[in-house]
Amino acid sequence: MKPVAFEYERPRTIDAALEHLATAPNAKILAGGQTLGPMLNLRLVQPDLLIDITRIPELVSVSDEGDALKIGACVTHASIEDARVEDHANGYLRRVASGIAYRAVRTRGTLGGSLSHADPAADWLSALLVLKAELEITGLHGSRRVGLKKFVRGAMETDLSPEELLIAVHVPRSEKTARHGYYKICRKTGEFADAIGAVSFNPGSGGFCLVAAGGSEQPVTFESPENLFSQGDPLDPDSFDMPMAMDALREAGMEADDYELQVRAVAMSRAMQDAMSP
């Protein structure tokens, strides 16, 4: 099948993109096109206008804000994989990027496109939840910042209104002693995940965040290790307790069968091991 006929605009400024969004009610933002392309071909979306935002300089830039890194929404997965974006989380961002799909998809697919689509099985969603990323959103009536957890309302459902653009992702700078781990289980390398475990914690300050995701379920976040470790101590990944973790996932409302829960608990456990590896 082929897409319906549509107009195409490639604005050079955020304001021009917002003007297009405001004047064309049936418009769609185009970033890397890696999700939107197939949706157009299947006619799941039938826009009158595509607004290509990839030539807007602010959206492809990265800046150091001191306590956070500001990554433009159109920065590609490949740019992060190739270390063109500073990785203050000890290689965590690079590792996540390199596990997304395959290289051709990574050269086009963008951070902002992935988060705006909010597929629960997508990598950045889980990976950035544990880093407490905030999203910068702008519309004709002003800009706002929202935490990633609040931004995602459900599977493929976000806080973005049709007249708004996601312009940047603010990733708080990790403390030097922080540890990060990521583990993705999928049938073939580069596929969407059957299960994801992502963790960030700081043995010094005691901060802890572990995310389990996969399939079509919303990611589940644990902010304290007590319900997951038999000794309550994340510094000992061997004390990660599978039955406790499966119960915790159930209690958190993850609707999955025992096999799926077990696979997600395994991903969590391996993310912990990844975080503790030298």
Shorter beta-carbon distance to ligand FAD: residue 52 or 236: 52
**DSSP H or E run through 119:** none
| Structural tokens at position 78 | 């490949």
Among 69, 78, 112, 265, binds ligand FAD (CB under 6 A): 112
Among 18, 21, 88, 110, binds ligand FAD (CB under 6 A): 110
Distance CA 196, CA 128 (A): 12
Query: By rule CB under 6 A, what count of residues binds ligand FAD?
Result: 31
Instruction: State yes or no: residue 73 binds ligand FAD (CB under 6 A).
Output: yes
- Strands 179-185 and 165-172: what pairing? unpaired
Could you tell me which stretch among 115-123, 194-202, 219-227, 261-269 binds ligand FAD (CB under 6 A)?
115-123
Put residue 186 in one of left, alpha, beta given phi > 0 → left and psi -120 to 50 → alpha: beta
Instruction: State yes or no: residue 96 binds ligand FAD (CB under 6 A).
Output: no
Among 69, 85, 93, 122, binds ligand FAD (CB under 6 A): 122
Burial class for 32, CB neighbours closer than 10 Å (0-12, 13-18, 19+): buried
Shorter beta-carbon distance to ligand FAD: residue 127 or 228: 127
Could you tell me which stretch among 24-32, 85-93, 205-213, 214-222 binds ligand FAD (CB under 6 A)?
24-32
- E runs forming strands in 15-148: 27-30, 49-52, 62-64, 68-72, 134-139, 142-147
Q: Collect all residues with Cβ–Cβ distance below 8 Å to 96 and sequence separation of at least 6.
A: 80, 123, 124, 127, 182
Distance CA 30, CA 81 (A): 22
Could you tell me which stretch among 62-70, 184-192, 214-222, 269-277 binds ligand FAD (CB under 6 A)?
184-192
Instruction: State yes or no: residue 225 binds ligand FAD (CB under 6 A).
Output: no
Nearest distance from C-beta of residue 178 to ligand FAD, angstroms: 23
Which residues contact ligand FAD (rule: CB under 6 A)? Answer: 28-36, 53, 73, 100-101, 105, 108-110, 112-114, 116-117, 122-124, 160, 165-166, 190-192
